[in-house]
Structure 1
Amino acid sequence: MRTVAQEILEHNRQFRETNSTDLVTKVARMKEHVFPFYRATAHLFYRDMAALPSSPYTNAQTGRCWLAGDAHLANFGAMRDAAGTEVFGVSDFDEAYIGQYLWDLRRLAVSLLLADYAKDISLSERRAAIAAMATAYLACMADFKGSNDELKFRLTSDNTSGLVQKAIRKAAKADRKEFLAKFKGPDTRPVADAIRAAVVAAMPDYVGRIAPSGRKAVACYQVLDVRQRLGAGMGSLGKLRYYALLQGTGDGNVMLEMKQAIPSAVELANPGALPSSFHGGHDGQRIARAQQAMQLNADVLTGYAMIAGMPFHVHEKAPTDKDFKYDDIATDAELNKAAATLGMALASAHALADQDHDTHLVQVSIDKQVTDAVTSRSGFITELTGFACDYAAKVRLDWQAFRAALDKGEPMY
């Protein structure tokens, strides 16, 4: 059995030759605090999920759920959807895959315990936040059962409050010109001519896959410049990430983010659940299709490309994309309110992506299956909270083992 350090080395070494700069940043951040460590190790989480016994609140049908895969506090945010409305929801789909709905809830619950907030929040208050998140999730799923309400449900500034509402309102006020001025910021660097040429060469296939209803004139997709983005995220550190500045329309230039795509960590716990024929063996396509399934009025520019022989997920890097500032949470009331909203956002994503979206992949109504499987809400919350507390303790031990190995000079990439 491999040690924690060996598992991390095995995962990171795939990026060693292409992006060692970000790996240095990644390891340093992982050492600083347990939450960045948790964010960077979804692969450890799903290896552990594979070894756990089934929950009484799951069955074969509830295991046919499109998962965000990495549903922690930092992977939610505000955005403007394709209909022009500022909304809040899941914002990262790199690890999206088919699996047990409970895995997303577990990963989110553990993050509520491990995150650093603006003020100290006690364990009992964090446990209460898990209950608030789970209660809101289950209530949403019950509301969606037997109806098509998930097809019109949106979290907007009208039905949210606190830090979530603040993020949505910030998205509404975003300025494109000011945003694009950051294209050549200190966290980017020029790319080699060969990379720029590879990005340009990938554009025709990428543009050809944009839905005709959302496709602009070919000139709008002319590549003006390409930069490499450094230091973004945690789990993504090591993956190549490029920004491509496009000509755009009269509204201004458009920035695309192109991120290297690798197999989902969820597959470690549920191998073969998503046949490669579904995404042509292209993990960028898997991510794009997951985003389209789990978001109402998803970004029309979400897609995929092959760049220099590697698969990439492509989407617009928009000025209206705003992170959820979980680290601004200062009271237990704020945490509870935010946790409940995250539960609703996760329920919406799960329910949107079931048979209503694609009956060939998911043949069940996941909102019905989950609601029917959870025969006791109090029992479910007790189990989820107990798991989160136990697993958070394990993550802390893994983090300590990682730090000790690092101090001994063991390689991490």
Structure 2
Amino acid sequence: MTFTAEQLGAGPAQGRRDPIAILVDQEKNRLTDLIPVRHQRMATTPFTFYRGAAALMAADLGSVPDSGIRTQLCGDAHLSNFGLFLSPERQMVFDLNDFDEAHPGPFEWDVKRLAASMVVAAQANGADDRAARRAARWAARAYRRTMVKSADKSVLDCWYARVDADEVLAEIGDRLDTAATAKARKVLKKSRHRNSEQALTKLCELRDGTLRIKYDPPLLIPAEEAFEGTPEEQIRTMFLDRFEVYRKGLAPHLGALLDQYTFVEAARKVVGVGSVGTRCWVLLFVGKKNQDPLFLQLKEAQQSVLAPYVEPVAFANEGHRVVIGQQLLQASSDILLGWLSTPVFQSDERGVASSTAGDSDFYIRQLRDGKGSVVVEDMPDDRLAMYGELCGKVLAQAHARSGARGEIAAYVDGLGRSFDRAIADWSLRYSAINEADHDAWVTAIADGTLSGATLGS
């Protein structure tokens, strides 16, 4: 392998394309009424901007030489895309939890995305460059050590390796003070209760004695409001038809599970930062006697931001790409994951729904299944660095599930600590670039270049 530590740590190529132009290009196929929400969320801090600007980093990574070692990538492995959720066995695990940008590519791209997020987050919390760089270095070191260990494991051991949340807390308990340990236990407890029943209390209300999804524009809009003027039965048929396509793609036993639920209604819901403006629907189902709710999320899958810079993948459906990427990287994936193509729902001038805007790809998953995450903004330097170690370990386990683990392990082991330092140096430089891009973004909003967006709205 001739890809040196100096090349690994080299910054993006000179003469970058205008970052505003790259991000605006992403919005061409998004819902125009939600674009101001995206602008606002990305403008909040350099870290929220980083979260929404995966396309910028992809362009920067694609502009310089890479290791040539390919594996399945998350594509957006920043530290807020790791979190807690319940496995099918109902065990609380910690793992990657966002795969919209999943795509095969150079292994170090995921590592750099994670490590740079450590620096950006640490600096946003008031850390100096030394402490921020340490957080990135620890994440890279944990990745390296875990990957090297994986090379000596069996294929099945790597495939089933996962991080149990309770075991993690037990392992690091002696590194945390009493208050931090109590907060960690509180996060675990809260996550276990983040399910469809909890979503019901947040997203629904009783109207005229009937369970319905709340109207909270622009973040949550029931389909009957989104398509005002369209008969409710027509809206119901639209969603049930698409649901049936998804259901037929599942294993028969899962179809039998879903047959025990009755569809109530759908609503458009805004999620995340970078995803804002993509078409995302939540579908509410209930079990017997109007109890036992189930929320499914129908989320649009667009082309991965990595796609222009790497070899193509053999999936005609972007939703299929997302699902397969998740199943390859996660040790325990949602049993109800699925995908489909469907005509885009839009309203005419009377508000009547039609599907003449062409097809879009979607994937479906449970909206909440014990999902939880830490509040990065609350973390002092030492705890953020520890969290980065955990994320680096999990990322290595995800990459080790592929056949490339031996090649990755040999490369990072060969570089040793130089790998950690190179990733940390690159991350510190990239944080400065991200901050400049964020400043340009805020300026573009303030001077009206990004039309319709207002800070503080």
Aligning the two structures, in what range does the TM-score lie when normalised by the shorter sequence? 0.7 to 0.9
- Who is 1:4 aligned against? 19
Distance 1:263 1:131 in 2: 31
Distance 1:166 1:366 in 2: 38
Counterparts of residues 171-186 of structure 1 (less than 5 Å): 171-174=191-194, 176-183=196-203, 184-185=213-214, 186=216
Distance 2:188 2:306 in 1: 30
Q: Secondary structure at the match of 1:411?
A: coil
Q: Is it true that 1:348 corresponds to 2:397 in the alignment?
A: yes
Moved more, 375-384 or 87-96: 375-384
Q: Secondary structure at the match of 2:166?
A: coil
Q: CA deviation at 1:216?
A: 2.5
Moved more, 33-42 or 112-121: 112-121
The one of 268, 293, 298 aligned to 2:308: 268
Distance 1:68 1:296 in 2: 13
Distance 2:168 2:266 in 1: 37
Question: Measured at CA, do residues 131 and 217 of structure 1 come closer, stay the same or move farther in structure 2, by a change above 3 Å?
Answer: closer
Distance 2:189 2:161 in 1: 18
| Deviation sequence 1:247-296 (CA, Å, 0-9, x none) | 34798121001111100001122142x12xxx2x1101110111111112
Moved more, 301-310 or 242-251: 242-251
The answer to whether the 8 Å contact 2:195/2:371 transfers is: no
Counterparts of residues 14-413 of structure 1 (less than 5 Å): 14-15=29-30, 19-54=31-66, 58-59=67-68, 62-63=69-70, 65-115=71-121, 119-148=125-154, 149-161=157-169, 167-174=187-194, 176-183=196-203, 184-185=213-214, 186=216, 187-191=219-223, 192=227, 193=232, 196-217=236-257, 219-230=259-270, 232-248=271-287, 252-272=292-312, 274-275=313-314, 279=315, 281-308=316-343, 309-329=359-379, 331-352=380-401, 354=402, 365-374=403-412, 375-411=414-450
Distance 1:105 1:164 in 2: 25
Q: Compute the RMSD of aligned alpha carbons.
A: 2.3
Q: Secondary structure at the match of 1:181?
A: helix
Distance 1:294 1:50 in 2: 22
| Deviation sequence 1:100-157 (CA, Å, 0-9, x none) | 1100110111111112689532221121111211111112112211323323322123
Q: Larger radius of gyration, structure 1 or 2?
A: 2
The answer to whether the 8 Å contact 1:199/1:307 transfers is: no
Question: Measured at CA, do residues 135 and 217 of structure 1 come closer, stay the same or move farther in structure 2, by a change above 3 Å?
Answer: closer
Point out where structure 2 has 5 or more consecutive residues left out of the alignment: 1-15, 170-180, 204-212, 344-358, 453-457
The answer to whether the 8 Å contact 2:281/2:297 transfers is: yes
Q: CA deviation at 1:29?
A: 2.1
Distance 1:38 1:370 in 2: 26
- In structure 2, give the amino acid aligned to 1:159: E
Distance 1:118 1:3 in 2: 24
- In structure 2, give the amino acid aligned to 1:147: K
Q: CA deviation at 1:166?
A: 5.0
| Deviation sequence 1:302-326 (CA, Å, 0-9, x none) | 1112232321111001241112322
- Who is 1:359 aligned against? none
Tell me the TM-score normalised to structure 1 length.
Answer: 0.87
Q: CA deviation at 1:380?
A: 0.6
Distance 1:88 1:249 in 2: 32
Distance 2:427 2:49 in 1: 16
| Deviation sequence 1:331-360 (CA, Å, 0-9, x none) | 2221121111101111122122x1xxxxxx
The answer to whether the 8 Å contact 1:156/1:165 transfers is: no
Question: Measured at CA, do residues 166 and 215 of structure 1 come closer, stay the same or move farther in structure 2, by a change above 3 Å?
Answer: farther
Q: CA deviation at 1:221?
A: 4.7
Number of equivalenced pairs: 386
Question: Measured at CA, do residues 150 and 5 of structure 1 come closer, stay the same or move farther in structure 2, by a change above 3 Å?
Answer: same
| Deviation sequence 1:376-404 (CA, Å, 0-9, x none) | 22111111011111111111222222233
Tell me the TM-score normalised to structure 2 length.
Answer: 0.79
The answer to whether the 8 Å contact 2:122/2:131 transfers is: no
Question: Measured at CA, do residues 22 and 84 of structure 1 come closer, stay the same or move farther in structure 2, by a change above 3 Å?
Answer: same
Distance 1:204 1:219 in 2: 11
Distance 1:117 1:85 in 2: 34
Point out where structure 1 has 5 or more consecutive residues left out of the alignment: 355-364
| Deviation sequence 1:150-178 (CA, Å, 0-9, x none) | 23322123321357665444323446433
The answer to whether the 8 Å contact 1:97/1:266 transfers is: yes
Distance 1:38 1:249 in 2: 44
- In structure 2, give the amino acid aligned to 1:389: L
Q: Secondary structure at the match of 1:369?
A: helix
Question: Measured at CA, do residues 239 and 176 of structure 1 come closer, stay the same or move farther in structure 2, by a change above 3 Å?
Answer: closer
Q: CA deviation at 1:224?
A: 1.3
Distance 1:175 1:248 in 2: 15
Moved more, 38-47 or 99-108: 38-47
